[in-house]
Amino acid sequence: MIIKLINFKNFIMLIIKAKIRKKINKNKNKQLRNKKKIPAVIYGKNKKNININIKENIIKNIKNKNNIYKKQLIIKINDIEETVRIQSIQQHPYKENIIHIDFLYTK
């Protein structure tokens, strides 16, 4: 769910709600996708990786925006907010299903 849009002088920052993924394996990821959730990871230099899942419709909505790979996003996990950008979006070869997303810390 997109919580809110913050607008700073024509610069829009999206805040996206996510949940922690505790079990990480192929079968659990498939179950997530069947529930319309996308497995993802946040990683970066000198920071711990965080495995998360995000609702599919949120990502489909923002993926269609121009230059989404260059924009900063805020991912809210419980009460923690992480500033990230999309590093890569893995999609099914001929379907438009999103399989996995990599986010990179920006702060």
CATH number at residue 24: 2.40.240.10
Note the pLDDT of residue 40: 96
Q: Which of 16-30, 55-69, 88-102 is predicted with the least confidence, judged by mean pLDDT?
A: 55-69
pLDDT digits (tens, 9 = 90+) for 57-84: 888 887 777 677 778 899 999 889 999 9
> What mean pLDDT comes out for the span 25-39?
92
pTM: 0.84
Q: Are strands 50-55 and 72-77 parallel, antiparallel or unpaired?
A: unpaired
Range of lowest pLDDT (5-19, 61-75, 84-98): 5-19
The structural domain count of the chain equals 1
Phi, psi of 60, rounded to the nearest 5 degrees: -60, -40
Domain that holds residue 26: 2-105
